[in-house]
Amino acid sequence: MIQVKGIHKQFGDNQVLKGIDVDFIPGKTNLIIGRSGSGKTVFLKTILGLYDPDQGSIHYGDEILGQMTKERRKLLRQELGMVFQGGALFDSMSVAANIRFPLDMFSNMTEHQKDERVSFVMDRVRLQGSGDMFPAEISGGMQKRVSIARAISMNPKYLFCDEPNSGLDPETAIVIDQLIQELTHEFNMTTIVNTHDMNSVLEIGDHVVFMKDGYKVWEGTNNEVLGSTNADVEEYVFKSKLFKQVRAALRK
Ligand SMILES: Nc1ncnc2c1ncn2[C@@H]1O[C@H](COP(=O)(O)OP(=O)(O)O)[C@@H](O)[C@H]1O
Ligand SMILES: [Mg+2]
């Protein structure tokens, strides 16, 4: 299990994370939601070890990230899959080569084993037959699927996604969300997804953490969100008048 305890992080005099505690649930989709600028990306990067926290600790199972040896951190890195904002695909490489890249970098697999693994994950994200195409030739939704396939190629224990829906139309966004949810359950990963999309929260939020101004202000399941009386959650969820009217009608 990934646990964060009392995480603080500031840049200059901008205090971004102000003491956050979360236990991320293994085998589930854990969503971090909050407005743009609330500190989600900084939080995710801190959990990944890309930023050092000023205070607090990040626990991967029994181990504390800040106390791991370099060698151990390298091994941990291989257990982490990441889907970053914008996809971060290599434009000059084919779809198959993008997905194969972590296997070439980190695995001891034979070429044949790599071929099989690439083919397996491509099937799994429904990209069969697109291996020879280049990122510029495929749709935004397909690019996200390549990015997800690359992230799971090493069969990671932990999957991190930063705004995986950004730039997608709502229907494609739901397909991507559902794919992340399916893979999480199928491969029993601990998945952490940053989003500001309420649809994602309701659709796939096994465990939802609300962030505001560097604090965790609420956590619960997607089913609990709509009934929450937490003022910050209400403000976020029911910011549209229409949503408020629907809820008022439901409560009658
Ligand atoms: N590398 C950085 N250096 C300085 N300030 C940063 C850095 N990264 C993020 N910030 C600041 O941290 C705050 C939270 O940003 P971010 O985590 O990107 O929010 P979110 O992902 O919720 O939109 C913002 O005020 C941003 O300007
Ligand atoms: Mg962000």
Helices (H) and strands (E) in the chain, counts: 10, 10
Cα 136 from Cα 29, distance rounded (Å): 30
Ligand 2 centre distance from Cα of residue 149 (Å):
21
Q: CB of 43 within 8 A of CB of 7?
A: yes
- What confidence score (pLDDT) does residue 167 get? 87
Domain regions of the chain by residue span? 1-75+196-252
DSSP 50: S
Ligand 2 centre distance from Cα of residue 35 (Å):
9
| Structure-block tokens of residue 51 | 């930023």
- What confidence score (pLDDT) does residue 240 get? 61
Query: Residue 214 CA: which ligand 1 atom is closest?
Result: 14
pTM of the model: 0.92
The tens-digit pLDDT sequence of the chain (252 residues) is 999 999 999 999 999 999 999 999 999 999 999 999 999 999 999 999 999 999 999 999 999 999 999 999 999 999 999 998 766 899 999 999 999 999 999 899 999 999 999 999 999 999 999 999 999 999 999 999 999 999 999 999 999 999 999 889 989 999 999 999 999 999 999 999 999 888 899 899 999 999 999 999 999 999 998 888 898 888 888 776 666 677 777 777
Query: Residue 44 CA: which ligand 1 atom is closest?
Result: 17
Ligand 1 centre distance from Cα of residue 40 (Å):
8
- What confidence score (pLDDT) does residue 248 get? 74
Q: Encode 132-150: b = buried (16+ Cβ within 10 Å), e = exposed.
A: eeebeebebbbbbbbbbbb
Residue 95 CB partners (closer than 8 Å, separation 6+) = 122, 127, 130, 131, 132, 133, 134, 135, 138, 146
Best residue among 41, 44, 54, 194 to mutate for probing ligand 1's pocket (most ligand atoms within 8 Å of CB) is: 41
Residue 10 CB partners (closer than 8 Å, separation 6+) = 16, 17, 54
Cα 148 from Cα 178, distance rounded (Å): 12
Tell me the residues surrounding ligand 2 (ion) with CB < 5 Å. Answer: 40-41
* Domain 1-75+196-252 bears CATH identifier 3.40.50.300: yes
DSSP 195: E
Whole-Å CA distances, 135 to 83, 92, 96, 166, 184: 15, 8, 10, 17, 25
- What confidence score (pLDDT) does residue 134 get? 97
Q: CB of 17 within 8 A of CB of 53?
A: yes
DSSP-assigned beta bridge partners for residue 22: 4
What is the CA angle 152-139-130, rounded to 5? 60
Cα 61 from Cα 23, distance rounded (Å): 11
- What confidence score (pLDDT) does residue 237 get? 80
Instruction: Please tell me whether residue 22 adopts helix, strand or coil conformation.
Output: strand
| Nearest Cα to Cα of residue 47 among 30, 59, 62 | 59
Question: Ligand 1 pocket: which residues have CB below 6 Å?
Answer: 11, 14, 16, 34, 36-42
